[in-house]
Amino acid sequence: MNSLSPPLTKYITDQLEQAQNQCIRHVFGGSKTSSIQDRAHFLQAQFLLRSLHLPHDTLLYRLLPHIRASFSSPTWYRLSKSPLWRKCQPNINSINRHDLYRIYLQARKEDLQSRQSSHKHTLLSHCRTKISMNPILWLPMTHGEHSRCIRWRLS
Residue 134: other Cβ atoms inside 10 A = 16
Kindly state whether residue 31 falls inside one of the protein's structural domains: yes
Mean pLDDT within 53-60: 87
pLDDT confidence tier of residue 24, bands split at 50, 70 and 90: low
Kindly state whether residue 4 falls inside one of the protein's structural domains: no
Kindly state whether residue 89 falls inside one of the protein's structural domains: yes
Kindly state whether residue 2 falls inside one of the protein's structural domains: no
pLDDT confidence tier of residue 127, bands split at 50, 70 and 90: low
Kindly state whether residue 40 falls inside one of the protein's structural domains: yes
pLDDT for res 30: 47
pLDDT tens digits, one per residue of 59-113: 888 888 887 776 666 777 788 888 888 888 777 778 888 888 998 888 888 887 7
Residue type, 64: L
Residue type, 92: I
pLDDT for res 111: 82
- Which of 30-34, 99-103, 134-138, 147-151 is most confident? 99-103
**152, 146 in Cβ contact below 8 A?**
no
C-alpha–C-alpha distance, residues 5 and 75, integer Å = 8
pLDDT for res 110: 86
Kindly state whether residue 3 falls inside one of the protein's structural domains: no
pLDDT score of 120 more than 60: yes
Domain encompassing residue 107? 10-154
pLDDT score of 51 more than 70: yes
**83, 41 in Cβ contact below 8 A?**
yes
Percent of the chain surpassing pLDDT 70: 73
Kindly state whether residue 1 falls inside one of the protein's structural domains: no
pTM of the model: 0.56
When divided into structural domains, the chain yields a total of: 1
**117, 46 in Cβ contact below 8 A?**
no
Kindly state whether residue 35 falls inside one of the protein's structural domains: yes
